[in-house]
Amino acid sequence: MVLRTFLAAIIVIALLFPTPGWAAAIVGSAGPITGATVRGASLQQGTNVFSGDVLEVGPGGSGVLTFGHNAMVRFGEETAARLERQQGTVALELLRGRMVFRSTSGQRVEGHVGDAAILPAQAQEVIASLAYRNPKLVVVAAQRGTLLVATAHDGRSVTVPQGEMVEVALDDTAPAKPPTAAGTPPPPPPSNGPSGKKWGTWVVLGGGAVLITGLVLSEQSETTNPCTNQVSPAQFPCP
C-alpha cells in the first residue's frame, strides 16, 4: 500500500513538474565540442541535447552534434541556434553565426532562418552551410545535393543546386503579400513559425536573393581551416 502511494505521488509530480529530459524529446548528442553552453551550462561530449534547447558557442569555440543515421551539424564560433525535433525531423534555427548540417535519407535535417526553411530538395543526402554575413543577410550554400529555400509568408521558393549558394535578406517589417485576384483580399500571413512562436523576421526571396554560380568562399578565414572548408564536403566534420 505504501509503495503504491509512493509511486502514485511520483507520477503526479512528474506530470505537474516535468523536467526538461521528460518534457522534451532528445534531438541529438554532442560530439567533439568546445566553448559551447546550453541553458547556461557547459556542454560536454556525449551530453544529450533536448528539443527547445538553444546552443551557444563562444569565441574560439566549435562543436558537433550527431542525430543518428549519419546526420549531424557543425557549429562555428560565436554561433547560436535553437534545436527542435518535430515528427522525426531535426530543425535547426540559426540565430547568429554559421553552421553546416548534413541531412540523410535516414534522418531528415532542416535549417531555419526567420520564416524560411532550408530543406533537402529530394530524399537524398545533402550538406548545407548557413552563415550570417551581417545581421540582415544570410548566405545559404549547397555543398552536396540540391537544397530548397522556401519562405512561409508568401509561399515562394528557390532551388540551390550543388556547388551554388544564395544570399537571402532578412526583413523585420510587414511581410510581402502574395498577388491575388482583383477585389479579393490577400490571405493573412501565417502567425506561427516552425517552433510554434510568432515570427518577427521574414526572409525576402526574389529581389533580395542573388544566386551565385560556382561556390565562393564567403570569408577568408574559411580557406585556412579545413574543418569549415566549404568546397570539400568530405572534410566535414573534422575528426
Q: How many helices (H) and strands (E) does the chain have?
A: 3, 17
Cell digits of residue 25: 524529446
The answer to whether the beta carbons of residues 90 and 51 sit under 8 Å apart is: no
Residue showing cell 552551410? 129
CA distances for 67 relative to 11, 104, 116, 183, 222, angstroms: 30, 10, 22, 49, 25
The answer to whether the beta carbons of residues 41 and 16 sit under 8 Å apart is: no
Question: Which CATH code fits 24-235?
Answer: 2.60.120.1440
Other beta carbons within 10 angstroms of residue 236's beta carbon come to: 22
pLDDT of residue 214: 37
The answer to whether the beta carbons of residues 80 and 102 sit under 8 Å apart is: no
Q: What is the phi/psi pair of residue 183, to 5°?
A: 80, -5
Of 48, 203, 204, 207, nearest in space to 112 by CA: 203
CA dist., res. 65 & res. 11, Å (int):
32
In tens digits, what is the pLDDT along the chain, a chain of 239 residues? 555 555 555 444 444 444 444 457 999 999 999 999 999 999 999 999 999 999 999 999 999 999 999 999 999 999 999 999 988 899 999 999 999 999 999 999 999 998 899 999 987 899 999 999 999 999 999 999 999 999 888 888 899 999 999 988 888 775 555 544 444 443 333 334 444 444 456 566 654 344 443 333 333 333 334 344 433 333 444 43
- pTM beyond 0.75: the answer is no
